[in-house]
Amino acid sequence: MNLKKNEIEIIKLLISSSEYLSSYDIATATGINRRLVRDEMANIKKILSELGYELVSKTSKGYIIEGKSSTSLQKLLTIIESAERKREYSYPTLPAERSNYLLKRLVESNDYLKIDDLADELLISRSTLSSDLKAVKKITTKYNIKFVQKPNYGICLIGSEAAKRKILSDQFFTNLSASEMHYDYLSSFFNDHHSLEYGIIEIIKKHNVTMSDYGLCDLLINISITITRLTHGFTITEEQDLSHIEGRSEFIAALEISEFIEKKLNLKVSQYETNQIAIEMICKRSSVGLEPINDPRTQEIVEDILNAIEEQTLLQLGTDEFKKTFTLYIEASFVRTAYQEKIRNPNYDTTKEAYPLAYECAEIASTILHKYTNKYLLSSELAFFAVIFEKVISSTLHQKKKVLLVCGLGGGSVDLCQYQILTRFENRIEIIKTTQFYKLHDQNLSLYDLVISTAPIREELSIPHINISTFITKGDLDKIESYLNYVFQNNTLTTLFHPKLFLVSNTIKTKSELSSGFYKLLKKQYPTIKPTFKNTLLSQNNASQIHTTNGIGIIKLKKPINNKCILTVIVLTKPLIIDQEPVSLFILLSSTDRNNFIYNSLLNTLKHYRQDQSVLSISSYPDFMKIILTYQ
């Protein structure tokens, strides 16, 4: 019986356990992705059944082989041992697996490897191996490593030792990400205070070098590879250019780590190796505790990026606090680029969908950086930048509103009123000042976003106001919430649209083509959308009736695409006739907002859009956003 590696590992674990094992226990012990454990268990149950053993599973406990004994399991152990012996002589079979195997094999070799020998080693033909080597050659280009092939000699990789280690590091981290075992990897060191890694972590903490958990995993992996390479006689001999990071405190920490390794392993660590540890530490650390260098060129790039974002999206992100943080990100990015290092983000492939507008800002930043450095941001770096943009965008969405509280009663009544309001809305409003009704006209209302008053205000003020009861009820609090959601939602509309979900078209002439146009835009941004969505997008079962006003149609999906608010816009050069009204601008809304605050905000904004304003003048996304800002 042929057993896969995962099946062997899990069955061995079940054999050795006298208690139930949960899927988490199995994933932790074997390194298998936790989401795949259940699939593997279904196969194992079938295998054990064929061999005469019963795998029992209980929801609250896990899995166990029932009725096992040393005698009854002997046959199973023999099968496992046989399968393991076979696996010792087995090699990868899939093209991607073979490419990774060959890449690692070439990195670890100190000499040429003959093509025929490698083909025999992998049990494949020479032509198949040649195809695999093309993939290997393509990969090595990313690391600035030369793929050399000489007649009668074979193939080898020529490049710096640091670059070769990056290949091994990437492979190790990819495997760790695939099994989602980053935290198990770190936990294994915390439990052993005598381990090398635990000592290194303590040195890092001692020198206040803050890292993300993934950054720390990456650094420890690199140090582990360094030790393995040194043990086999491979050492860094090239002098590094340290001009980008000279004087950094991480060099002191790196020296202490080197001395610790020498003492612990009796292994010589050269100055070049120490420098490499410092470089990796600097590239993988967070910006916590750092101050910007504020080089004029960096400041120019920061301004260019923020100006480009504002020009293309109308988002204004240039606060002093954000500029400082963003400058640190740019400086760190330059250092990583200089040393061909990367910041790890295992979620880089989902960040685009999770934070679409923030990811767009990151791509704009990448384009500007390319203009200065001739290099675009890597995928993980794009995700890294998207996170900081999402933070500042979210802060504008959820920024506390400054409130002037008008309360006719004095003393304890004012305090009680404040308490009752803030108990529910502490995260959404800040009561800056309280005053009496007769003093209202003495106040500088420009200092506030909203007036909440227990006294009836029947005149128009320069800012929004809401009247509530003297004795605050649940109805009053609900009224405040509805008001906050509705009145201030307009301020966030610019953060809900997206440049890549905007299209000006002169080819769409029917509702069917309109549906197809929406689908194509959404599919690029959200690839998991099913093709059937295109055919039902504008059907009565899937979308509310198109609400038209001033040549604009708003369509709300009854079933949202995902848990995000998604606004997709198509502008037609020739209008469609909807309910006997020509419509040239369509907005498709997908939202989980059951109270229709966003939908109503759109209607409220667009109803002010003047009839004499031609929709046909909209030729770009910024044009459209200017209308939103003007009429909100």
Overall average pLDDT of the 112-121 stretch? 89
The angle, 0 to 180 degrees and rounded to 10, between the axes of the packed helices 320-338 and 296-313 is: 110
Give which of 354, 244, 365 is closest to 306, Cα–Cα: 365
Residue 89 scores a pLDDT above 70 = no
- The total number of residues shown for the chain amounts to 632
Residue 595 in this model has a pLDDT that exceeds 70: no
| Fold classification of 401-487 (topology level) | Rossmann fold (3.40.50)
Name the burial class of residue 558, with classes exposed (0-12), middle (13-18) and buried (19+) by CB atoms within 10 angstroms of its CB. exposed
- pLDDT score of 480: 87
Report pLDDT digits (tens) over 220-264.
999 999 999 998 899 999 999 999 999 999 999 999 999 999 999
Fold of 164-284: PTS-regulatory domain, PRD (1.10.1790)
Q: How confident is the model at residue 75 (pLDDT cuts 50, 70, 90)?
A: low
Equal fold, 296-397 vs 493-631: no
Share of the chain above pLDDT 90, in %: 38
pLDDT per position as a tens digit, 28-62: 777 777 777 877 888 888 888 887 788 888 887 88
Q: Which helix (H) or strand (E) holds 572?
A: strand 566-578
User: Rounded to an integer, what distance in angstroms lies between the CA atom of residue 499 and that of residue 497?
Assistant: 7
pLDDT at 85 over 60: no
Token pair 């990897």 is found at 185
Phi-psi region of 264 (alpha: psi -120 to 50; beta: other; left: phi over 0): alpha
Q: Would you say residue 320 has pLDDT above 90? A: no
Question: Other C-beta atoms within 10 Å of 381: how many?
Answer: 23
Using only C-alpha atoms, the chain has a radius of gyration, in whole angstroms, of: 31
Contact residues for 24 (Cβ-Cβ < 8 A; gap 6+): 34
Question: Rounded to the nearest 5°, which phi and psi values hold at 411?
Answer: 55, -125
What is the C-alpha separation between 154 and 594, in angstroms, rounded? 66
Domain ranges of the chain: 5-88, 95-159, 164-284, 296-397, 401-487, 493-631
User: What is the predicted pLDDT for the residue at 391?
Assistant: 86
Cα(28)–Cα(26) distance, integer angstroms:
5
Q: What are 371-400's pLDDT values in tens digits? A: 999 999 988 899 999 999 988 887 765 567
Helix axes 621-631, 296-313, angle to 10 degrees: 70
pLDDT of 179: 66
Query: What are 256's two structure tokens?
Result: 């202490």
Domain 493-631 CATH (choose: 3.40.930.10, 1.10.10.10, 1.10.1740.10, 3.20.20.60): 3.40.930.10
Tens-place pLDDT, residues 561-574: 887 889 999 999 88
Question: What pLDDT shows up at residue 252?
Answer: 97
What is the spatial distance between Cα 161 and Cα 232, in angstroms, rounded to a whole number? 13
Class of domain 95-159: mainly alpha
pLDDT digits (tens, 9 = 90+) for 527-582: 888 887 877 777 777 777 778 777 888 888 888 888 788 999 999 988 898 888 88
DSSP string of 444-477?
Answer: -GGG-SEEEESS---S--SS-EEE--SS--HHHH
Give the model's pLDDT for residue 463: 83
Closest CA to 486 of 437, 531, 535, 450: 450
**Residue 414 — left, alpha, or beta (φ > 0 → left; ψ -120 to 50 → alpha)?**
alpha
User: For 261-319, how does the pLDDT look when each residue is reduced to its tens digit (9 = 90+)?
Assistant: 999 999 999 999 999 999 999 999 988 888 999 899 999 999 999 999 999 999 988 78
The answer to whether the CB of 133 falls within 8 A of the CB of 102 is yes
* 21-36 b/e (C-beta count within 10 Å ≥ 16 → b): bebebbbbbbbbbeee
Which DSSP string do the residues of 381-421 spell out, in sequence order?
HHHHHHHHHHHHHHHHHSPPEEEEEE-SS-THHHHHHHHHH
Strand partners for 345: none
Question: Could you tell me the pLDDT band of residue 490, with boundaries at 50, 70 and 90?
Answer: very low
DSSP string, 29-71: HH---HHHHHHHHHHHHHHHHHTT-EEEEETTTEEEEET--TT
Given the candidates 2.40.110.10, 3.30.1060.10, 3.40.50.970, 1.10.1790.10, the CATH classification of the domain at 296-397 is: 1.10.1790.10
Give the model's pLDDT for residue 68: 64
pLDDT of residue 612: 47
Assess contact for 615 and 585: CB atoms under 8 A. yes
Burial 605-630 (b: 16+ CB within 10 A, else e): bbeebeeeeebeebeebeebbebbee
By the 10 Å C-beta count (0-12 exposed, 13-18 middle, 19+ buried), 350 is classed as exposed
Q: Which two tokens stand for residue 149?
A: 């092939």
**Cβ–Cβ under 8 Å, residues 245 and 278:** yes
Amino acid in position 403: V
pLDDT for residue 183 = 76
The answer to whether the CB of 214 falls within 8 A of the CB of 182 is yes
Fold of 5-88: Arc Repressor Mutant, subunit A (1.10.10)
Cβ proximity of 402 and 447 under 8 Å = yes
SS3 92: coil
pLDDT per position as a tens digit, 160-179: 999 999 999 998 888 777 66
- Interatomic CA distance for residues 438 and 436, integer angstroms: 6
